[in-house]
Amino acid sequence: MAGTTYPAVRTELPGPRSRQLLERLDRVLISSLTDHDEVPFVEARKSDWVIDDVDGNTFADHVSAWGTTQLGATPRAVLRAVAEAQARYGMEITDYIPNEPELELAELLVRIAPPGLSRVAVGVSGTLVVEGGVKLAREATGRPMILTFYGQYHGEGTYLTAGVSTDLAEVTTQHAQYVAGLVFTPYPNAFRAPFHRGAAGPFDDAMYLDYLEDWVLVHQVEPEQIAGVLIEPVLGEGGVLIPSPPFWARLQGLCRRWGWKLILDEVQTGMGRCGRMFAAERYAIEPDIMLLGKGFAGGGAPIGAILGTEEVMGSSDLHLGGTFAWTPAAAAGAIASIEGLLADDGAALANARAIEAAAHEELDPLVERFEQVGDVRASGALIGIEFVRDRASLDPAPAFHRAVHLQALRRGVLGITQWGKWVYRLQPALTMPLDLFRWSCARIAEAVEEVAASPPPEPPSLLERGAPVEGGARRR
């Protein structure tokens, strides 16, 4: 785009002003928030898809408030709707006192939802709606067990961190309570698979359902005990894994055969992130229960939702809301966000699909250029680059990943990395201009090239990674 001003970093990171503010922050925040190696600056402002720090550095924003601001950092229509509803209603408990934004949003969700979803329960966050979805499946079936998949992330409520697999085990370290009622199987991964050490994909993800049917349901749990299947349509935190259409067809067949309720966690993938309003549409998934959070807020106020079939929710006695669930201001903001996604014949959704195509054009060649780039995956504006030590072993390379992230930061690109992981993630606003996205990919390619010239030493294994940063308090 002619006239585009690209981000630039003019100081060391953190810059002098950021360093001062981070020192002050560390004196008052819980110690788990005092490691700043992943984001070594203090934000001054955001606009659209660019972040400014307090030292005058600018970064292309590929975090999007962890995927919650699909229409850009400060979507004017959304913020205006929030402000107007807040001025009209103030704070209100929608669970107790109905209001027009609640009604309008519920009707809108049912109108755009995948077929069969006709009821809505209110929520305030992804964590809480996941717990609500589990409760609904158990209530509807009268069964105790939930089938879920290794590597997923469903929030950090006590029950979820205790019993539901997370993207990395240390998320639950020292505070997990091991609880009954859940059974696990690996999440489909076409790049690397259990019992295939060092072998390169693509793997047929039917093997994961073979394992479920031939081993889990034979040796661990009877299918008649399972109430529901809790699954993400695309694995987000665990590395942007995308199951194949045959996997979904077979899984849904198992659900119908055994009476399992399919609980689709669209907290991260919903509201356009995967190039359709819901990832369920893109991958032909017909859930009994669908969970919304993150992008459902659309950059407005926190909000979540559970959608369900008439069978699941039509006569439910469960209370799944809370004091802050669907405040009028949050509901008004969500309506404006959905309208923005649908505007101009879904231009934002089309741009997300164009971002996916551009990601493959710009990043796929890195797999051939660099031994440490194992795979590139994208679903709409949800992109992952998996780093490995070498092509022979395909062992994960978390140190290489971290180094690439830091080099990309110095070039003005802020993506998502987390200590101990080996997949670098990008989730820009769906409306990010394609030229800025391609510019970002080029800077990432430069970062990979620089790190590959002198790769950092990797830990002996993923279980021996040491502290995330010298002097850091987190996950020691």
Q: Is the pLDDT of residue 163 over 60?
A: no
Q: What is the pLDDT of residue 197?
A: 80
Q: What is the pLDDT of residue 153?
A: 84
Confidence of residue 168 (pLDDT cuts 50, 70, 90): low
Q: What is the pLDDT of residue 322?
A: 86
Residue 375's alpha-carbon distances to 23, 24, 192, 396, in angstroms, are: 38, 40, 10, 11
Residue-wise pLDDT tens digits, 76-118? 999 999 999 999 999 999 989 999 999 999 999 999 999 999 9
Residue-wise pLDDT tens digits, 248-290? 999 999 999 999 999 999 999 999 999 999 999 999 999 999 9
Residue listed under structure tokens 């993938």:
269
Confidence of residue 159 (pLDDT cuts 50, 70, 90): low
Residue 464's alpha-carbon distances to 169, 197, 405, in angstroms, are: 13, 19, 21
SS3 of residue 183 by DSSP: strand
Confidence of residue 474 (pLDDT cuts 50, 70, 90): very low
Confidence of residue 471 (pLDDT cuts 50, 70, 90): very low
Q: Which of 52-56, 178-182, 375-379, 427-431 has the lowest mean pLDDT?
A: 178-182
Q: Is the pLDDT of residue 132 over 60?
A: yes
Q: What is the pLDDT of residue 158?
A: 53
DSSP assigned state of 7: P
Average pLDDT over residues 118-140: 95
pTM above 0.85? yes
Beta bridge partners of 148: 184
Average pLDDT over residues 69-76: 95
471 or 414, greater pLDDT = 414
Residue-wise pLDDT tens digits, 312-368? 999 999 999 889 999 999 999 999 999 999 999 999 999 999 999 999 999 999 999
CB hemisphere CA count around 337 (13 angstroms): 36
DSSP assigned state of 216: I
Cα separation, 296 vs 338, in Å, equals 8
- pLDDT > 70 in the chain, percent: 91
Q: Which domains, ranges and CATH numbers included, belong to the chain?
A: 16-73+346-453 (3.90.1150.10), 76-342 (3.40.640.10)
